[in-house]
């Protein structure tokens, strides 16, 4: 039996594993969180509400009450340097039931305010309270965003087909985190219809570590997954950009040639062979012959 095997995504450098984190609300606990990540070389995306910068309060939500202080506008750039900032709505409004114009305004304004601060385009979003329905997704699309994160856990390592409904692997408090970590780091082949490359996506809020008194647990997790040559540590936006470049590859009818029209190199390989190729920006390459298995 013959398979067309040479058209699957691998991460930059031909790596098979990618780790990304997504943390919401821009609270002062992010400072301690970032110290852990920066020491370990792990990248994250932070989803912020520009209309709430500097607002001070507390949060309980059924758990221990802890400070919920939003980082001030003039501290955003230095705090999050080296990581990605994405939008999370201007005022962290739950948009269920809102009309489409108000929804779009809430999303678009947050994107616009962040862009003024960062002086570059913002491409990502996380649904506040996880609220996403047809109207909200359409508003996200109309706001020119390229990806948006839900609060759904897949317990898998798949690359999303629709980046505007990007489900995470799990929340950091998920009881399956230890076993998912082992599965992620294992070199056993990952069986996915879309790609043998794994994407481990963990999300949460840094204030939850204060509420649950489990900074330790998170530090151990980062210790275990960081500093590895076989893992690409990336922000959400870097992943979306890379997968977009992969999906823009142009294959010949018989999969014997491929062109990369993008401005970044893309690595591809097959499920059943070990050869991984890099297709440079603007390059056309001949692919290895198809394998009989």
Please, what is the minimum distance in Å from the beta carbon of residue 141 to Zn ion? 20
Task: Check if the beta carbon of residue 26 is closer than 8 Å to that of residue 69.
Answer: no
Specify the residue, 62 or 193, whose C-beta has the smaller distance to Zn ion: 62
Per-residue DSSP letters for 113-171? Answer: HHHHHHTS---EEE-GGG---HHHHHHHHHTT-SEEEEEEE-SS-PPPSSGGGEEESEE
Output the smallest distance, CB 13 to Zn ion, in A: 33
* Residue span binding Zn ion (CB under 5 A) among the ranges 18-26, 143-151, 209-217, 260-268: 18-26
Residues forming a β-bridge with 124: 147
Closer to Zn ion by CB, 93 or 235: give it. 93
Please work out, in degrees rounded to the nearest 5, the angle formed at the alpha carbon of residue 241 by the alpha carbons of 285 and 291: 35
- In the complex, least distance from residue 191 CB atom to Zn ion, rounded to whole angstroms: 34
Would the CA dihedral through 80, 85, 90, 94 be positive or negative? negative
Q: Which is nearer to Zn ion, 34 or 48 (CB)?
A: 48
Which member of 18, 25, 203, 210 binds Zn ion (CB under 5 A)? 25
In the three-class reduction of DSSP (H, G, I as helix; E, B as strand; rest coil), residue 174 is classed as: coil
Instruction: Give yes or no for residue 24 binding Zn ion (CB under 5 A).
Output: yes
Return the number of the residue (25 or 167) whose C-beta is nearest Zn ion.
Answer: 25
CB of 129 to Zn ion, least distance (A): 7
Closer Cβ to Zn ion, 47 or 123, answer by number:
47
Applying the rule CB under 5 A, the residues between 173 and 212 that interact with Zn ion are none
Q: Could you give the CA distance from residue 79 to residue 52 in angstroms, rounded to a whole number?
A: 16
Among residues 16 and 111, whose Cβ is nearest to Zn ion?
111
Query: 126-155: which residues touch Zn ion (CB under 5 A)?
Result: 128
Phi and psi of 203, rounded to 5°? -130, 170
- CA nearest neighbour of 143 among 184, 183, 113: 113
Smallest distance from Zn ion to CB 126, Å? 7
Minimum distance from CB of 24 to Zn ion (Å)? 4
Q: How many residues bind Zn ion (CB under 5 A)?
A: 3
The single residue listed with the structure tokens 């408090």 is: 173
Cβ proximity of 151 and 203 under 8 Å: yes
Give the nearest distance from C-beta 162 to Zn ion in angstroms.
Answer: 21
Residue closer to Zn ion by CB (options 91, 137) is 91
Q: Select the residue whose beta carbon is closest to Zn ion and give its number.
A: 24
Taking the CA atoms of the chain, what radius of gyration do you get in angstroms?
20
- 47 or 260, CB closer to Zn ion? 47
Q: Concatenate the DSSP letters of all residues of 57-98 into one string.
A: -EE-TTS--EE--BPPGGGHHHHTTTSEEEE--SS----TT-
- As measured in angstroms, the least distance from the Cβ of 142 to Zn ion is 21
Segment contacting Zn ion by CB under 5 A, of 24-32, 177-185, 224-232, 277-285: 24-32
CA of 5: how far to CAs of 114, 123, 196, 272, in Å?
42, 32, 11, 7
Which residues contact Zn ion (rule: CB under 5 A)? Answer: 24-25, 128
């Amino acid at each position: 039996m013959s398979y067309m095997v040479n058209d699957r995504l691998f991460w930059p450098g031909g790596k098979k594993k990618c780790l990304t984190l997504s943390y919401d609300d821009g609270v002062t606990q992010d400072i301690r969180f970032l110290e852990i990540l920066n020491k370990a070389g792990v990248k994250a995306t932070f989803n912020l509400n520009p209309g709430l910068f500097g607002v001070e309060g507390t949060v309980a939500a059924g758990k221990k009450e802890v400070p919920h202080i939003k980082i001030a506008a003039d501290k955003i750039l230095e705090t999050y340097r080296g990581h990605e900032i994405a939008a999370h709505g201007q005022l962290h409004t739950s948009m269920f039931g809102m009309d489409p114009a108000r929804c779009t305004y809430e999303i678009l304004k947050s994107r616009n305010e962040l862009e003024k601060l960062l002086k570059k385009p913002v491409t990502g979003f996380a649904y506040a309270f996880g609220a996403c329905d047809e109207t909200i997704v359409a508003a996200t699309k109309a706001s020119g965003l390229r990806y948006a994160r839900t609060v759904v856990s897949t317990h898998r390592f798949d690359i999303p087909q629709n980046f505007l409904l990007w489900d995470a692997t799990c929340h950091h408090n998920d009881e399956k985190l230890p076993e998912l970590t082992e599965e992620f780091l294992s070199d056993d082949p990952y069986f996915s219809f879309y790609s043998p490359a794994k994407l481990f996506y963990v999300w949460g809020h840094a204030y939850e570590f204060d509420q649950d008194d489990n900074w330790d647990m998170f530090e151990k997790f980062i210790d275990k997954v960081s500093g590895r040559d076989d893992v690409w540590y990336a922000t959400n936006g870097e992943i979306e950009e890379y997968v977009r470049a992969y999906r823009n590859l142009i294959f010949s009818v018989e999969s014997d040639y491929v062109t990369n029209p993008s401005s970044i190199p893309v690595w591809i390989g097959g499920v059943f062979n070990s050869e991984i190729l890099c297709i440079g920006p603007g390059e056309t390459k001949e692919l290895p012959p198809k394998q009989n298995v």
